[in-house]
Amino acid sequence: MSIVKVDKINKKFGKKQILHDVSFEINEGEILGFIGPNGAGKTTTIKLMLGLQSIDSGSVTINGYDLKKDFEKAIKGVGGIIESPDMYMYLSGRQNLKLIANMYKGITKKDIEDLIKLVGLEKRIDDKVSKYSLGMRQRLGIAAALISKPNVLILDEPTNGLDPQGILEIRELIKKLAKENKMAIMISSHNLSELENFITDACIIQNGKIVSNSSIKKLKSLDVSKYRFKLNKTRGIKTLFGNNNIEVIDDETFEIEVEKKDINSILKKLISNDFEIYSLYKVSMSLEEAFIKETGGNVIE
């Protein structure tokens, strides 16, 4: 069931069109990776989704409520961190959380304590936030986003500043939230490889346009794969197959991206051109490469 629906939103800053017809959906239990290079429009999209900036055209629907018309109801189910977790530095972590809890009904002390434990800040929660490290602020930010028990979580680069252990913990936490609480989660990042192990869906944005939007399973099962050939020589390979999708690794090795059904014809061509074939195997593609493949270009410009 789609919880968040972003439908053809556009945004201009002055004359510069930043977002072009951006559309995607997030379903219950899904973790959507929102991926794009610096300046692609990730933060802008998230700001529009949270009502922090006005939408020029298009609509955002959350839990069935239109963000523009029913802001309070739409935003009620959303927790978020935008760019960086901006907390009141002169207050302690606990005071920050309390302030946020005050703004919702029925949040108990125990809820807050549980959250503090969940993000692992028990020891430092009564220190001023100004004394926190960036990673601790990230954890506090996630706790703050979760206070209202939202069913939508929108995180802009949430693993910024976390150590590998921290990243791992946050990943586990996010996976758990999606699975157990059936939340719809959106995580932006410019780093695809960082996300690939735990997102369920990916949406690629480039220059303000969504260039690809599909589930990870589907991406990974794309027919196109990379095959590595070991031969007696590689000279003349490129002229033989054209420059297409070929990468010569060394004197004896080259890789080529093709569909399964084309393997036979490649073998035939090699043999008839006097190449000796020593070995052939399939190289599994990383998610990033799959994207590059699908979008037909370099993700990071």
Partner 1 sequence: MNKLVRNELYKLFHKKSTYIYLFIITVLLVLISYISNKSIQLANNNDFDSMIATSQSNIESFKDNNKILDEFKDSYVQELANIDSLKLAKERNVDVLSAEYDYIKSKVYALYLVKYNVIENGYSYSDFGYLSEEDFNNKLNETIKKLDNFVPIEEVKNDLNNLNKEQLCKSVSKKYCDEYYNVYKSVLEYRINNNIPYTQHENSNVLTSYLEAYLTYLELRDNKNLSKEKKDEYREVLKTVKLTQYRMEHNLIDNKKNVDLGSASFIASPIDENTIFLIFGIIVIACGIFSEEFDKGTIKQLLIKPYSRNKIAVAKIITCLIATLIFLIYFIIVNILCGQLLISAFDINSTVLMYDYNLEKVLVYNGFQLIGLYLLYKLPYLILFTLIILLVSVITRNTAISAVSGFMLIILPEILSLLIDKFKPLAYLPFYTWRLDEFMFGGRSTIKQLTFNNSLILDIVYIVIFSISLIIVFKRTDIKNQ
Ligand X SMILES: Nc1ncnc2c1ncn2[C@@H]1O[C@H](COP(=O)(O)OP(=O)(O)OP(=O)(O)O)[C@@H](O)[C@H]1O
Binding site for ligand X (CB under 6 A): 13, 18, 36, 38-44, 190
134 contributes a contact to partner 1 by CB under 8 A: no
104 contributes a contact to partner 1 by CB under 8 A: yes
Q: Which residue is nearest to ligand X (CB)?
A: 43
Nearest residue to 266 via CA among 240, 239, 284, 293 = 240
Candidate list 54, 165, 221, 243; residue touching partner 1; CB under 8 A: 54
Give the Cα separation of 206 and 99 in Å (integer): 37
Candidate list 3, 11, 41, 43; residue touching Mg ion; CB under 5 A: 43
Nearest residue to 294 via CA among 200, 207, 229, 202 = 202
CA distances from residue 30 to 2, 3, 177, 183, 186 in whole angstroms, order as listed: 10, 10, 10, 7, 8
CB of 185 to Mg ion, least distance (A): 17
Beta partners for residue 34, in sequence order: 188, 203
Residue 164 CB partners (closer than 8 Å, separation 6+): none
Give the Cα separation of 80 and 99 in Å (integer): 16
Binding positions for partner 1, 136-175, rule CB under 8 A: 144
* Binding at 99: pick from partner 1, Mg ion, ligand X, none (beta carbon under 5-8 Å per type): partner 1
225 contributes a contact to Mg ion by CB under 5 A: no
Binding positions for partner 1, 57-96, rule CB under 8 A: 71-73, 75-76, 78, 80, 82-84, 86-91, 95
Give the Cα separation of 32 and 46 in Å (integer): 13
Nearest residue to 126 via CA among 158, 91, 100 = 91
What is the crossing angle of helices 109-118 and 134-146, to 10°? 140
Nearer to Mg ion, 160 or 286 (CB): 160
Nearer to ligand X, 19 or 112 (CB): 19
274 contributes a contact to partner 1 by CB under 8 A: no
CB of 42 to ligand X, least distance (A): 3
| Binding window for partner 1 (CB under 8 A); candidates: 45-53, 132-140, 215-223, 268-276 | 45-53
Residue 153 CB partners (closer than 8 Å, separation 6+): 78, 79, 80, 145, 146, 174, 177, 183, 184, 185, 186
- Residues near partner 1 (CB under 8 A) are 43, 47, 50-54, 71-73, 75-76, 78, 80, 82-84, 86-91, 95, 99-100, 102-104, 144
- Residues near Mg ion (CB under 5 A) are 43
